[in-house]
Structure 1
């Protein structure tokens, strides 16, 4: 493979913190590289240095002669006084760019619905971001560097961009680097992953999934080494704690060796640990939109009043206790508006929003407006402005303790909000919401500005979230992980169930499948928790009293061609329930054995440890077999 560009011995320091320390790496033709790491660890800085838009303190970056590099920064650098056509196409005539298949594809994939004559300054932030991306992709750059390109793209746009990058060059031509929190996107387009952390860059073969597995194995090996070191530390500490006369009779090198071992404690990474917050009790009635219609108010222009589209037209939408819904849809279809209606921030023109008596909602907005009004305050002041102690996992923590468990060091807690990174603001915003003890949580594009580690921690929190959850996101990995079912807003004023999830939505948008029919005007969630609440639906709304008819009409066409009979499917569901109980028992035995092994480690009982390890290996094998049996049964049950 031809070498395209490289960095040799680059280092850069901000204040007293070294972000990159003596880094050497290279990019060859055919490289498809994803960059991951925590917020503030230097992902964007590394990309800017490689793109020569930032100069390192030490080292150098070299490009092969003739190599062209295109760089999409997170900052908006477009000329707001120019038109969209002038910014994206320059002085190119329409027949010139329209004759180029790649340019046509980029225009339709990113700029559909936007007037070429529109001034850039009149576009929304998301539209300007799409324009900057389109300008870059229409160029002939041999190396493309993209910093968070999926921000402001919907699910359909993310899928289009992934396909474009996969087909843009032959396998041995071109190269790209991408910084993104979208794990599906990383898996789809990247063959190499760079992890930026603690001033270094580690390279892993494969996309995000391969990187995660490799890192887990690396962390496991490090944990084993650390456990051995801790045992040695305990022995040496016990020796050092003996009386002064005993120590003076020992050789000095032994004391020096023990002190060196105790001091050699590896620095813990600033891991974010989102833990279970207290939640207000949620009754049987949660949130119902009944016969609701909503239109954005008319807009004043030079030509007079312009009528805005109807976002919701006579819609009934019900949320039950514990229901977990993902919302996808085209831009401008009303996803954020739906959350504002559910949160009672705006009122419909007709119909009503019915709220349960015990409902306490919280919305994580895209704009981080809650913190914008507190930019002059310090992090700890924001955290403790309403109360000073918080209940987390059954324990009472102070504001400082809670912030520390979530990655804000003691010194960082005194940082003004205006000096926080985007990811740190997002983390503080989510934490502030959670401490209000809501029982209905609504997240509007929660993945923006968060690194993959923080996202994984947030997903762990949401996995155990006991309340009702509504998530609007273009991150299909997040949606499929934390929600039980998805709904679509297709821009026609209706809400449609998606039994086939995000894949079904993409098939609908590409014209491969018709949109699911809407049973009257009603959508009802299908989660098991929501089904329990179905019987509480008001009888005069026209809502069905059981699972709706619309999901059955929206089954994929291939479902009727199943190779299994209904009897086989029923047996498979029974097998799944049986195996699930077996897996629960095995998991409980695993936990018990881990506790016993920890106790045996304390007493350094090697014989007992060996016996326990044999039992654990046997249970691990049984659990693996059970998981395989469950997967086989689930394939039959869901066919």
Structure 2
């Protein structure tokens, strides 16, 4: 089934053309990732599909039988609403039925309750509320009475994500789910849960993300936006990179041939009299076509910088018995660490565990409760913070950079100007003289990164540097950091980025405990999972012998298929498989009674029983899925 078709779309802002005459199709079941540098028009294209922007030319045809749902970077909400009230503002029929059902419970009108129950059944909405709360719980949102206006930016993004997933689940129509950087503000556990959720869900998805592991796990089609065009790649991110390299090699070969022909034709053109004949007109037209190809500039600006870094002394940075707490929340407990020259440390942990607090304490932005910090005399920090750039509203990009200095020193003794440095970060002449306030969110992040490096630090501290950076910039940033001779601390939830850069991990494991693990991020995660498995195996071994010798009461599945479960888990699975049909039968009976009942008190009682029963059934089904995953 075709969901969306677009033909010859063109979109410009002023003299800047984002894309020109692009065409594409989205079919049911497609899971597509869009890859491009910031400012290429990714978010604009998504908004055109949503009807929030209008293309300059071209047509977009959306199937009348589908619903398009967008998870955007900008989230509108009423700050006075509680989280639960915000979630219930969805307009899908099952949510509306659920709201009417809750309202009927508060009323004294049996007719209203009967209608509400009938609508709940029609919309299959009995389990929706539990599923909504389950999604919120996975995204670490548990207090649904909190006002939206009291939440942090990250919490708001997570609530909005939960609302989007609930809306997609609640839709009975075919749905195209559009997501713009959904992994921002999620910790690793949340990212892995969302990755698993989307990869298994039978949905149609159009996704913008900088997380390459997430991209590879969820999507099997990549759209590349570059040079106003749209290119299509089937397969993984690695396949896309390979295809891109082949395309660029072919283009360079075509340009080389055109340049040879151009030189010959240029001599012929110069020999022609001013009053050219009609006979040579076709050759003249061909000359201008050849000239256009021959003068195509395929040079890519990059971040290949070898700058003159201030020398690091013998002492770099030493932390001794650092303690920090907020009320009863212990973030750092007797933490000691000595940073070495050239060391690349990754810091990981759940949101709120104290990662950013440690970075602020190291730089003196926040006081410690106790302990000592010794910083080498030659250390010059470069800090890339989550809060972003601080700038004057009308300040131009070039002036902002020149405040640091007119020139940037290179290792070979030469210098480059601020303008040349900006071009390395993909800011063309027009962008350099634009106000910073006019830049996109991703372009501001790129400027912030450039601003940090332009100060020529020898100790870099990056707090979530990958958020809102495009993949081309991330790739060259990774290459730069791999060759960086100074020390480096990175807080990031981007697993691919961490795997490429860090050589060991400081893991915030809660209650002030920080584990020092030698290796990259994936190795740390594998070690954790292996430890969890060993603990489970030890628990299984420790099960009392008498309990182990008990026979299962049913043989619903061969014992051989359950070899990965402990004896307790086997018994639990068998019990659940027996109870689920019984619960479903009870639920059906209550629904039948409700449909035939007219007395208000009995309806109220049956509704309460139905809600409890639906919740228990949902718990059984979720636990059954968890146990089944262990068997697969």
TM-score by length of 1: 0.71
Match of 1:118 in 2: 146
Match of 2:410 in 1: 392
Contact 2:503 2:519 in 1 (8 A): no
Contact 1:277 1:435 in 2 (8 A): no
State the Cα deviation string for residues 190-248 of structure 1 (Å, max 9, x = none): 010011223322111013222111111211222233344445556777x699xx9x998
- Over the aligned positions, Cα root-mean-square deviation in angstroms equals 3.0
Match of 1:40 in 2: 39
Tell me the SS of whatever aligns to 2:136: helix
State the Cα deviation string for residues 61-108 of structure 1 (Å, max 9, x = none): 333233122211110212221110111245658997767775354122
Query: CA offset at residue 263 of structure 1?
Result: 4.8
Determine the C-alpha separation between the residues in 2 that align with 1:382 and 1:205: 42
Match of 1:132 in 2: 160
Contact 2:495 2:522 in 1 (8 A): no
Match of 1:456 in 2: 475
State the Cα deviation string for residues 524-583 of structure 1 (Å, max 9, x = none): xxxxxxxxxxxxxxxxxxxxxxxxxxxxxxxxxxxxxxxxxxxxxxxxxxxxxxxxxxxx
Alignment of 1:208-219 (within 5 A): 208-219=237-248
Q: Does 1:334 align with 2:359?
A: no
Q: Does 1:275 align with 2:294?
A: no
| 1:476 aligns with one of 495, 502, 509 | 495
State the Cα deviation string for residues 243-273 of structure 1 (Å, max 9, x = none): x9x998xx99799977764454114476443
Determine the C-alpha separation between the residues in 2 that align with 1:235 and 1:498: 64
State the Cα deviation string for residues 116-174 of structure 1 (Å, max 9, x = none): 000011000000000011001012342211011111111111111110001122xxxx3
Contact 2:7 2:23 in 1 (8 A): yes
Query: CA offset at residue 435 of structure 1?
Result: 2.1
Match of 1:145 in 2: 178
Q: More displaced, 381-390 or 438-447? A: 381-390
Determine the C-alpha separation between the residues in 2 that align with 1:128 and 1:181: 20
State the Cα deviation string for residues 325-380 of structure 1 (Å, max 9, x = none): 11111000111111112222222110011111211111100111xx3233321111
Contact 1:35 1:177 in 2 (8 A): yes
Q: Cα distance 1:268–1:389, how it changes in 2: closer, same or farther (>3 A)?
A: same
Contact 1:447 1:475 in 2 (8 A): yes
Q: Does 1:350 align with 2:370?
A: yes
Tell me the SS of whatever aligns to 1:81: coil
Match of 1:596 in 2: none
Q: Cα distance 1:479–1:157, how it changes in 2: closer, same or farther (>3 A)?
A: same
Tell me the SS of whatever aligns to 2:323: strand
Tell me the SS of whatever aligns to 1:162: helix
State the Cα deviation string for residues 369-399 of structure 1 (Å, max 9, x = none): xx32333211111111132111135231111
Tell me the SS of whatever aligns to 1:411: helix
Contact 2:301 2:423 in 1 (8 A): no
Tell me the SS of whatever aligns to 1:106: helix
| 2:466 aligns with one of 419, 432, 447 | 447
Runs of 5+ consecutive residues of structure 2 not aligned to the other structure:
90-97, 103-119, 536-632
Match of 1:203 in 2: 232
Query: CA offset at residue 18 of structure 1?
Result: 2.9
Query: CA offset at residue 317 of structure 1?
Result: 1.6
Determine the C-alpha separation between the residues in 1 that align with 2:339 and 2:448: 24
Contact 2:407 2:415 in 1 (8 A): yes
Determine the C-alpha separation between the residues in 2 that align with 1:146 and 1:492: 34
Q: Cα distance 1:115–1:379, how it changes in 2: closer, same or farther (>3 A)?
A: same
- Count of matched residue positions in the alignment of Structure 1 and Structure 2: 493
Determine the C-alpha separation between the residues in 1 that align with 2:41 and 2:132: 33
Contact 1:278 1:435 in 2 (8 A): no
Match of 2:593 in 1: none
Match of 1:294 in 2: 324
Determine the C-alpha separation between the residues in 2 that align with 1:181 and 1:335: 22
Q: Cα distance 1:500–1:465, how it changes in 2: closer, same or farther (>3 A)?
A: closer
Tell me the SS of whatever aligns to 2:185: coil
Contact 1:332 1:491 in 2 (8 A): no
Match of 2:560 in 1: none
Determine the C-alpha separation between the residues in 1 that align with 2:19 and 2:384: 33
Match of 1:77 in 2: 76
Query: CA offset at residue 321 of structure 1?
Result: 0.4
Query: CA offset at residue 411 of structure 1?
Result: 2.0
Q: Cα distance 1:101–1:212, how it changes in 2: closer, same or farther (>3 A)?
A: farther
Match of 1:401 in 2: 420
Determine the C-alpha separation between the residues in 2 that align with 1:160 and 1:43: 25
State the Cα deviation string for residues 178-197 of structure 1 (Å, max 9, x = none): 11111111111101001122
Q: Cα distance 1:334–1:8, how it changes in 2: closer, same or farther (>3 A)?
A: same
State the Cα deviation string for residues 394-437 of structure 1 (Å, max 9, x = none): 23111122222321112221111111122222222222221222
Determine the C-alpha separation between the residues in 1 that align with 2:182 and 2:56: 27
TM-score by length of 2: 0.72
Match of 2:107 in 1: none
Determine the C-alpha separation between the residues in 2 that align with 1:33 and 1:62: 18
Match of 1:491 in 2: 510
Match of 2:67 in 1: 68
Tell me the SS of whatever aligns to 1:281: coil
Q: Does 1:183 align with 2:202?
A: no
Determine the C-alpha separation between the residues in 1 that align with 2:468 and 2:368: 31
Determine the C-alpha separation between the residues in 2 that align with 1:76 and 1:485: 36
Tell me the SS of whatever aligns to 2:513: coil
Tell me the SS of whatever aligns to 2:475: helix
Q: Cα distance 1:269–1:258, how it changes in 2: closer, same or farther (>3 A)?
A: same
Match of 2:398 in 1: 380
Contact 1:6 1:50 in 2 (8 A): no
Larger Rg: 2
Contact 1:486 1:498 in 2 (8 A): yes
Contact 1:324 1:469 in 2 (8 A): yes
Query: CA offset at residue 507 of structure 1?
Result: 6.0
